[in-house]
Structure formats: structure tokens, C-alpha cells
């Protein structure tokens, strides 16, 4: 569990969450995974059922256009969260995420996050604020 706690600490999504709730999140979170440059975090069209927390490194978010060309939409890095916008609706990933360098990522499934949100209004508010910041 300490490995998971270290993976999730200091991420903005969990800043205002009570210690007890944070401990629940840590128990449910996947053990961190390591990625090398060029590794795929997720593919465009994969089920959008996981929240990804970037602990180290960066990823480019790309979409394949009608001509089959890869278009870079955004670069995301340490401390950023991927998947909030698509997590709470049934659907697929609108982009692919490809590691630009060595990276570490923690993940949390929709099922586990929904359970924790029901138990913690603080975490629910953090997710809402995070989504709001993405819309800006």
C-alpha cells in the first residue's frame, strides 16, 4: 500500500481529500506502471473506463485523422490527470496517449472511483473542479 500512497501523493486531485478517504483510494489504485518512450498508455477507441494519474514523465495525446495521419492535440505531464472527461460516460478514448519519455502512471478504474466518490463529497468536488479546469 505504501507504494500506492507514494504514487498518488501530491497529485492535485487528492489535495483536499480526508486521510481516511485517501487511504481508500490508495487501496483501490493500481500499482504504478512504468512506461518507456514510445509506449502506449491507451489507444484511440479503447474503453474509457480508467483514470490515469501521471506521476513522472509526459505523454502526447494524438488522434488519427481521416487520412490516417497522427495529429498531436496536447502534451500532458507530471501531476496531470487523464480520463476525467470520458470516465463517467460509457464510451471510448477519443485519443491515444504515447509516452514521450520514461514515465510512471497510476490508474484507478471507473468502478473504484465511483465507489469512493459516493463515500467522499470532498473527492467528488475535486473531480468536478478538475473537470471544470479542463473546460477552460
Residues 94-135: tens digit of each pLDDT: 999 999 999 999 888 888 777 777 877 777 777 677 666 655
* Residue owning grid cell 473527492: 123
Mean pLDDT across 9-28:
69
Strands 103-109 and 50-56, sheet pairing: antiparallel
CA separation for the pair 32, 30 (Å, rounded):
6
Mean predicted lDDT score pLDDT of the chain: 82
Cα distance between the two ends of the chain:
35
Mean pLDDT across 38-52:
94
CATH number of the domain located at residue range(s) 2-135 in this protein? 2.60.120.10
pLDDT for the residue 30: 60
With 80 as the cut, is the pLDDT of residue 8 above it? no
Amino acid at each position: 500500500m505504501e507504494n500506492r500512497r507514494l504514487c498518488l501523493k501530491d497529485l492535485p486531485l487528492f489535495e483536499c481529500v480526508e486521510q481516511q478517504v485517501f487511504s481508500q483510494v490508495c487501496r483501490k489504485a493500481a500499482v504504478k506502471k512504468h512506461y518507456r518512450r514510445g509506449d502506449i498508455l491507451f489507444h484511440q477507441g479503447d474503453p474509457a473506463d480508467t483514470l490515469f494519474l501521471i506521476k513522472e514523465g509526459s505523454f502526447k495525446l494524438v488522434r488519427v485523422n481521416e487520412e490516417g495521419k497522427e495529429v498531436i492535440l496536447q502534451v500532458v505531464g507530471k501531476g496531470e490527470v487523464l480520463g476525467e472527461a470520458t470516465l463517467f460516460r460509457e464510451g471510448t478514448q477519443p485519443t491515444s496517449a504515447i509516452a514521450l519519455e520514461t514515465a510512471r502512471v497510476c490508474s484507478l478504474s471507473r468502478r473504484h472511483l465511483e465507489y469512493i466518490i459516493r463515500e467522499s463529497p470532498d473527492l467528488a468536488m475535486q473531480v468536478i473542479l478538475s473537470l471544470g479546469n479542463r473546460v477552460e
